């Protein structure tokens, strides 16, 4: 089960027990990977799910893009394996005695079995039609801002610097979601998008035209 570099790295010696413990605890559905930051290579893998071996490139260059949730801990964020399995991942930066980052510990948990189990439980004797949730989003206003916010984060520029296409995209998303079926939605969305009500309707009309063309 354990696979570590031949020439036993001191860091591996130091962290192996933790890695192995986690791998054992989470059973066959979690893999633990220890990365070398400097060389960006895998130091060791416990319970490998992705055929990676020590010495392989780590490919975690995107780690620094994630905003650190304090204490050198990242995630949980979602990864997608090529075979479609969804993983929940957390990463932790391990520092040496001097406080310099020396390794990164990643735990990848395969959520598919859990999700399947949840689906089974949820579907047990479930009435075919109705969903039990609240009929409608209570603070849809908040949700609108969330949608706009996440889009903005994706594009990496503030709301009032979004291009026309961007705004069309967000609007399309919101429209599909049915926001404009709720009262007083238009001014709120316009506000969230930092556009006038007029423009809002103009863009909306454009979307409709686009749909009719295709």
Which residues lie near DNA (CB under 7 A)? 164, 167, 180, 183-187, 194-199, 201-205
Q: What is the token pair recorded at 9?
A: 């790295």
3 binds a second copy (CB under 8 A): no
The answer to whether the beta carbons of residues 86 and 78 sit under 8 Å apart is: yes
Instruction: Say which entry of a second copy, DNA, none residue 115 contacts (CB below 5 to 8 A, set by partner kind).
Output: a second copy
Selection from 194, 209, 197, 28 nearest residue 109 by Cα: 28
Q: Which is nearer to DNA, 35 or 167 (CB)?
A: 167
Rounded CA separation 200/167 (Å): 9
Reference 46, options 109, 102, 88, 103; nearest CA is 109
Q: How many CB atoms lie within 10 A of CB 118?
A: 11
Q: Pick between residue 11 and residue 194 the one whose CB is nearest to DNA.
A: 194
Distances (CA, A) of 22 to 12, 27, 61, 91, 175: 15, 8, 24, 13, 44
Question: Least Å distance between CB 197 and DNA?
Answer: 6
Q: Which is nearer to DNA, 124 or 136 (CB)?
A: 136
Binding mask 95-134 for a second copy (x = CB under 8 A): --------------x-x--xx-xxx-xx-xxxxxxx-x-x
Which option in a second copy, DNA, none does residue 21 bind, with CB closer than 5 to 8 A by kind?
Answer: none
Query: Which spans of this chain sit near a second copy (rule: CB under 8 A)?
Result: 75-78, 86, 88, 109, 111, 114-115, 117-119, 121-122, 124-130, 132, 134-138, 140, 143, 146-147, 150, 174, 177-179, 181-183
């Amino acid at each position: 089960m354990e696979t570590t570099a031949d020439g036993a790295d001191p860091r591996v010696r130091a962290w192996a027990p933790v890695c192995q413990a986690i791998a054992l605890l989470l059973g066959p559905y979690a893999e633990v990977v220890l990365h070398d930051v400097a060389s960006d290579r895998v130091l060791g893998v416990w319970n490998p799910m992705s055929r990676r071996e020590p010495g392989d490139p780590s490919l975690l260059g995107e780690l620094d893009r994630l905003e650190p949730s304090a204490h050198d801990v990242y995630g949980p964020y979602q990864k997608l394996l090529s075979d479609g399995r969804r993983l929940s991942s957390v990463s932790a930066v391990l520092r040496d005695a001097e406080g310099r980052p020396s390794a990164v510990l990643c735990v990848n948990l395969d959520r598919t079995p859990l999700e399947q189990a949840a689906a089974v439980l949820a579907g047990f004797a479930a009435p075919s039609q109705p969903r039990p949730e609240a009929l409608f989003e209570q603070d849809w206003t908040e949700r609108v801002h969330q949608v706009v916010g996440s889009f903005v984060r994706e594009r990496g520029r503030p709301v009032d610097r979004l291009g026309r296409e961007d705004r069309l995209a967000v609007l399309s998303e919101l429209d599909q979601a049915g926001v404009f079926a709720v009262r007083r939605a238009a001014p709120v969305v316009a506000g969230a998008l930092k556009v006038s009500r007029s423009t809002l309707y103009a863009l909306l009309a454009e979307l409709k035209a686009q749909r009719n063309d295709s």
